Structure 1
Amino acid sequence: MSSIQPEESLDLINRLKLGDTAAYEKIYNVLSKELLGLAYKKTGDKVIAQELVQNIFISLWEKRATADIKDLRNYLFGSLKFAIINYIRSEVIANRYIEHEQITYRPNSEDTSSLVGLKDLSEIIEKSLNSLPEKTQEVFRLSRYSHQSTKDISNGLNISEKAVEYHITRSLKRIREYLKNFYIFFLL
């Protein structure tokens, strides 16, 4: 099964709209690797690529009844294109912010420096979280800010505990990336 023929595509779309999980799995099995390859090529990050593709398939399932899909391949690759653009845009904005802060940050005293550093640190953490997909942000905030357990989050959001752990791990990785830049800047 290396591709989906046009007639089969229409059948899969109709079955998907009715909630047929076998149709959904077939779409995923046939197109996910190709989508993942393109996402990796454009982002250069395997985890980000997996996350983008995963979010596209989650969205496909969630919007299956209402989405106006004429061609599965075009729909999924178009969705990936916009997801990559949004990801790159968020990265550019975050990088511009960091560059701006590095240029304009001039502490007047040690106390002021500490307060400003703490404020900047909080902003960096929020920026890093805001650059993540909505579901990942929600899971992280429930875990770290609301102090909910993995099991509670899993039950509340109707996702597996493994998915909760994935979202938390992804959030922490993103925060670490942002904090690494912040730490280098703060030392300067």
Structure 2
Amino acid sequence: MADIKSIDSLTSISIDKKNFEWIYNLYWEKVYAVCYNSIRETEPAKEMVQDIFKSLWERRENLELEKTEHYLVRCAKFKSFEYIRNKISREKHMDLKMQDCKMSTNCTEEHILFNNLKEKVSTIVEKLPCQCKRVYKMSREEGLGNKEIASSLLISERAVEYHIHKATNMLKLSLASYAI
């Protein structure tokens, strides 16, 4: 195994279990610091670090790393940007919903119905099969496209479409009797 200074001077490094553990132990704090300093939220930053290293492990057979630290920092910056983009998008959506609610005479009732519907959707999503739930959440909650999801989960785009279709059908069936 290479020492700390020589890992990034190597032309490339293949990732086996031993190298992965070594890279993780060496860089996880730095990757976490980049994520945390970008978003200032502990739990999401920890999740991003786990996602980055999970992706690294899942792609180990097809990935030859050059400048490992730069690669991981770039991944952390990308994940942080993605998180901020999705958070802003969710906040804009909620702001628009609240503006609509303020214009409405039945604001309190609509707000309660909206929260009930949101809770029911969350409950249904949590009951979905594992892969289906993961794909649905990446698509609807994180705002990722089918290609990004397929790449991240190492499945085909067709499989992503299948899982989204399955999830939306389950939601439609479960919410058919829900009165709005």
TM-score > 0.5 by shorter chain: yes
Kept in 1, the 8 Å contact 2:35–2:79? The answer is no
> Aligned equivalents of 1:121 and 1:12: distance in 2?
52
How many angstroms apart in 2 are the aligned matches of 1:51 and 1:61? 15
- Larger helix fraction of residues: 1
Give the Å deviation of 1:6. Answer: 3.7
Q: Is 1:77 aligned to residue 73 of structure 2?
A: yes
**Are residue 61 (structure 1) and residue 40 (structure 2) matched?**
no
1:145 counterpart = 2:127: yes
Please tell me whether residue 38 in structure 1 is matched to residue 34 in structure 2: yes
Instruction: Assess if the C-alpha contact under 8 Å between 1:52 and 1:83 holds in 2.
Output: yes
Partner of 1:118: 113
Determine the C-alpha separation between the residues in 2 that align with 1:23 and 1:125: 44
Contact 1:39–1:84 at 8 Å: present in 2 too? yes
Residue 7 of structure 1 and its aligned partner are, at CA, apart by 4.8
- Matched residues, number: 130
4+ residue runs of structure 1 moved beyond 6 angstroms? none
**CA contact 1:13–1:69 (8 Å) conserved in 2:** yes
Rounded to whole Å, the distance in 1 between the matches of 2:57 and 2:9 is 16
Distance 2:7 2:28 in 1: 20
Deviations for 1:80-130, whole angstroms, at most 9, x for unmatched residues? Answer: 1110000000111111111111112233458x934x74246535886xx7x
Partner of 1:107: 104
- Tell me, yes or no, if the aligned pair for 2:13 and 2:64 is still in contact at 8 Å: no
Identity, in percent, stands at 23
| Structure 1 unaligned residues grouped into runs of 5+ | 130-139, 157-166, 168-173, 175-188
The alignment partner of 1:22 has SS state of: helix
Q: Give the AA of the match of 1:55.
A: D
For the residues of structure 1 that align with 2:66 and 2:12, how far apart are their CA atoms?
11
Q: Pick 1 or 2: higher relative contact order, CA cutoff 8 A, min separation 6.
A: 2
**1:164-179 matched pairs, under 5 angstroms:** none
CA RMSD in angstroms comes to 3.6
Q: Which runs of 5+ in 2 are unaligned?
A: 135-140, 142-180
Which whole-Å CA distance do the structure 1 matches of 2:120 and 2:76 have between them?
A: 26
Change (3 A) 1:107 1:21: same
CA offsets, 1:143-169, max 9 Å, x none? x324x7xxxx6xx8xxxxxxxxxx9xx
CA distance in 1, matches of 2:120, 2:64: 37
The structural deviation recorded for 1:37 is: 1.6
Q: Match for 1:118: what amino acid?
A: L
